[in-house]
Amino acid sequence: MAAKRKKTNWQYILIVVILAALAGGIILFLEYFWLQDEPSVLGPSITHRVIAPATAIDPNFLNQVKECFLPTAAAYGYALRITDGFRSLDEQEEVYNQGRTEDGHIVSWAPAGRSLHNYGFAVDVTDRWRGYNINWKRIGKIAAFCGLEQADDPHFEYRNGLVTDQFAAGTRPTPLILPCALMDERAKANQSLTLKDLKNCGAPKF
């Protein structure tokens, strides 16, 4: 009697193992076809995953500009305003063509997809009163304090070591962190940063 029951248990275990293997096989089969489907949208020559293009400035990057970069510059007497933020690929093409196939001065060195404006990780700024006639080296130091990188005089971006191809492939840099919690408090309370605040936050001194 006992021997018979033991045999039945083994049969149950065998059935469970076979069912589990079948279920695993079905999942792998479905996953294979599901993953194969995606790139076919752009034809068989594209083998990597299709990444949806960025449609707006990155919120974390913008927050860093608004709560650190602009207010710190303001405390040092620079009334910076953003002249350009996110650009779609079409807008970038227009900007790139200016001075090349279209009339006007050359304003950008980057064709569509080659500017961090296209991924929402760049802003251009100017001084509200003095235009471009300001100390850009100082502005660069303020930007660096906020974790931003000055690519040329009025252009500030955040790539944190990533190359443009990585942005194009959908990789994004790790989120920025404010150098000082006080900055968020001041911004939320609609208060300006004072020079004393900046000293407490370890900002560069001029």
CA distance 174 to 4: 62
Cβ proximity of 89 and 53 under 8 Å = yes
Minimum gap (Å) between residue 119 Cβ and Zn ion: 12
For residue 155, state whether it binds Zn ion (rule: CB under 5 A): yes
Residue closer to Zn ion (CB basis): 72 or 126: 126
Residue 84: CB minimum distance to Zn ion, A: 6
Q: Give the shortest CB-65-to-Zn ion separation in angstroms.
A: 13
Cβ proximity to Zn ion, 155 vs 172, nearer residue: 155
Nearer to Zn ion, 54 or 183 (CB): 54
Indicate whether 58 belongs to the interface with Zn ion (CB under 5 A).
no
Q: Which of 58, 67, 124, 197 binds Zn ion (CB under 5 A)?
A: 124
Stretch that binds Zn ion, among 27-35, 53-61, 137-145, 153-161 (CB under 5 A): 153-161
CA 127, CA 82: separation in Å to the nearest integer?
9
Answer for the pair 69, 148: CB distance below 8 angstroms, yes or no. Answer: yes
**Residues 124, 57: Cα–Cα separation, whole Å:** 12
- Tokens 């990188």 belong to 149
Q: Which of 164, 170, 146 is nearest to 74 (CA)?
A: 146
User: What gap in Å lies between CA 135 and CA 132, rounded to an integer?
Assistant: 9
With contacts defined by CB under 5 A, name the span among 75-83, 96-104, 155-163, 175-183 that binds Zn ion: 155-163
Which chain residues interact with Zn ion by CB under 5 A? 124, 155
